[in-house]
């Protein structure tokens, strides 16, 4: 089996295609410990592009760089701010949209716990 080079866009695309075909998921890392505006601009189209390319797949959004932090992502203020801004830029803030509904459950939970989904929404958010 050929292992894709994840540092190259074609390698990431090959990986996502395989992941979507084998598991029904597309994984997108949309941030790292920098969480800067450039990354936000670069990554915001990702969920929409993934949904267009793999309409039946669930989209898993990941934020890297915080593995050593014992707090949950939604307890880290700079992550909460970034997730809120990312959700608006990517069109994930509206729970009624087909793009929001293409997200996997953990990603929906992260958005909800970060307050990135416009209210009122029908979800119960339990943190703990």
Question: Helix axis angle, 77-90 relative to 46-53, nearest 10°?
Answer: 50
Q: Can you tell me the distance from the alpha carbon of 79 to that of 122, in angstroms, rounded to the nearest whole number?
A: 24
Residue 121 lies in a domain: no
Is 58 a member of any domain?
A: yes
124 or 56, greater pLDDT? 56
Q: Structurally, how many domains does the chain consist of?
A: 1
The domain in which residue 106 lies consists of 9-113
pLDDT value at position 112?
92
Question: Domain for residue 89, yes or no?
Answer: yes
Residue 80 pLDDT > 50: yes
pLDDT at position 5 is 43
Give the model's confidence band at 29: pLDDT under 50 very low, under 70 low, under 90 confident, else very high: confident
Domain assignment present for residue 56? The answer is: yes
Count of Cβ atoms closer than 10 Å to residue 50 Cβ: 23
Q: Is residue 118 domain-resident?
A: no
Residue 1 located in a structural domain: no
How many Cβ atoms are within 10 Å of 107's Cβ, its own excluded?
21
Give, in degrees to the nearest 5, the angle at Cα 106 between 12 and 78.
80
pLDDT band at 6 (very low <50, low <70, confident <90, very high): very low
Nearest-angstrom CA–CA distance, 47 and 55? 11
Average pLDDT in the 101-105 region? 90
> Which of 50, 28, 40 minimizes the C-alpha distance to 116?
40
In this model, does residue 35 exceed pLDDT 90?
no
């Amino acid at each position: 089996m050929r292992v894709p080079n994840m540092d190259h866009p074609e390698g990431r695309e090959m990986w996502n295609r395989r992941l979507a075909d084998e598991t029904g998921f597309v994984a997108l890392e949309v941030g790292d410990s920098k969480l800067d505006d450039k990354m936000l601009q670069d990554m915001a189209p990702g969920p929409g592009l993934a949904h267009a390319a793999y309409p039946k797949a669930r989209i898993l959004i990941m934020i890297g760089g915080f593995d050593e932090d014992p707090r949950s992502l939604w307890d880290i203020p700079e992550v909460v701010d970034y997730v809120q801004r990312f959700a608006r830029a990517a069109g994930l803030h509206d729970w009624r949209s087909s793009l929001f509904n293409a997200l996997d459950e953990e990603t929906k939970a992260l958005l909800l716990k970060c307050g990135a989904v416009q209210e009122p929404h029908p979800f119960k958010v339990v943190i703990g």
